[in-house]
Amino acid sequence: MKRLAPALAVTLALFPAAQAVADAIQIDVRKTNGCGCCLSWMKHLKESGFAPTGEDMFGGSLVRFKLDNGVPQRMVSCHSALVDGYVIEGHVPASDIQRLLDERPDAVGLAVPGMPYGSPGMGPEDDREAYDVFLIRGDGSTEVYTSYPGS
């Protein structure tokens, strides 16, 4: 752990919630303004120990951001995020993001193309449709990283 200023160290020791915030993994979410499912996905991330921040972008700029960061067109969804050198596209569950960060594969990141019902931010999980989370490789190829059956 990095050495902290004495006042900050005392604050973190006295207030465990402050330490939790300091330890949370930062994730930068790019989305369009007013997208409810994007905000719901960010809430899912926060509840799972991440520290999401959101940046609204116009549609064309958001598409360019996705392509510039290695997201193949067939993998596109409504929002993108950057976390610790990886891109996260769409409604990827927080558990898969954490697994990605733990395993550190040589990859661009993860994607859930489209907006599958019941994925995080897209309705109740107990009524979800089947969907896959894909690992995006540097050459644009993909492979299934995790499969979620329908309920």
Instruction: Say whether 25 sits in a helix, a strand or coil.
Output: strand
The answer to whether residue 11 scores a pLDDT higher than 70 is: no
Name the amino acid, one letter, at 95.
S
Q: Give the Cα separation of 146 and 127 in Å (integer).
A: 18
34-91 per-position pLDDT tens digit: 888 999 999 999 999 999 999 999 989 999 999 999 999 999 999 999 999 999 999 9
pLDDT at 137 over 80: yes
CA distances from residue 77 to 19, 30, 38, 60, 112 in whole angstroms, order as listed: 33, 11, 10, 14, 7
pLDDT at 76: 96
- Which residue reads 């997201």 in tokens? 71
Within 10 Å of residue 79's Cβ, how many Cβ atoms?
24
In the predicted structure, residue 16 carries a pLDDT above the cut 80? no
pLDDT of residue 12: 44
